[in-house]
Amino acid sequence: MDHLHDTQGRTLSLTGRTARQAADAYCVIETVLGPAFLAYNDRGISALLQAETSDLFEQVFQARFHRMAYRDSSPPAALLEAVRDCLAGRADPRQCLEFDLRGRSPFEEAVLRKTAEIPYGQVRPYSWIACEIGYPTAVRAVGSAVGRNPIPLLIPCHRVVRRDGRIGAYGLGGTAAKRRLLAAEGIDPDWLEHLARKGVRYIGDPREGIYCFPTCPHARTLPDERRLALGTDGEAAALGLQPCPTCRPAPRPFLMPSVRQAGAPRAD
């Protein structure tokens, strides 16, 4: 027998599969941006949202996901520990968490799962995601999919920036919240904006023969005498520099058949 609890503490008893289909459990967790509601079910984490009250969260959740959510009086300790570790950069969400992305199109799911690959303390442009999933011209569609991310912070859309390097918008509290999250991960938002104003999109290392995104660990540890400020990958190629194999700043020329077959935005 499964037991779910509503906001008044009433126990709702449903038998196994019926309970899992009927509702998601949720609890409140602490984040850099303050308290947030974490929803989850047998498939994985389904939402991470902020709301003024539990009642409002339940209303928003039901309207968005078309199923109910009930407050869990005893959230799984292992889940909470994994979430805390991921939020603090001590663990990779892809390795210790499962995500329930039902309702997303195959293209949107590909975007979100690629976003989840962006490491703690680094940023990538929307265009990087588009290229990585095989749709280099679908940057606008990528931005829309990122903007509808149901699990921000854990699927770290705050680490996605504009193509020119500017920080850009953010759905969970706006640009100020995005800057706060990046700063908490050791990224200076003013430094990012400074590079963007100067037209610097990459950092080259002539000794190693590679170029990186500015927040790549390799680029950030380079001594000044080895740092080359680059505006385009064409400049890097003209200097004989190859894309960093870690941050992969160059487009990847392939197309994901599963996404194409599902009717994703055209890439041509």
| In contact, 13 and 1? CB cutoff 8 Å | yes
Which phi and psi (to 5°) does residue 131 adopt? -70, -40
Q: Which of 131, 157, 212, 247 is catalytic?
A: 157
Q: Which residue reads 């027998």 in tokens?
A: 1
Other C-beta atoms closer than 10 Å to the C-beta of 64 total 14
Report residue 46 as tokens: 């389904």
Question: Which residues, in sequence order, are CB contacts of 8 under 8 Å at separation 6+?
Answer: none
How many whole angstroms separate alpha carbon 7 and alpha carbon 23? Answer: 14
Question: Which residues, in sequence order, are CB contacts of 68 under 8 Å at separation 6+?
Answer: 22, 23, 24, 58, 61, 62
Q: Nearest CA to 113 among 97, 90, 94?
A: 94
Is 157 an active-site residue? yes
Alpha helix stretches (DSSP H) within the chain: 16-22, 54-65, 77-87, 93-96, 106-115, 126-132, 139-147, 174-184, 189-197, 217-220, 233-238, 257-261
Asked whether the CA dihedral 9, 13, 17, 21 is positive or negative, the reply is negative
Q: What positions carry a catalytic annotation?
A: 157
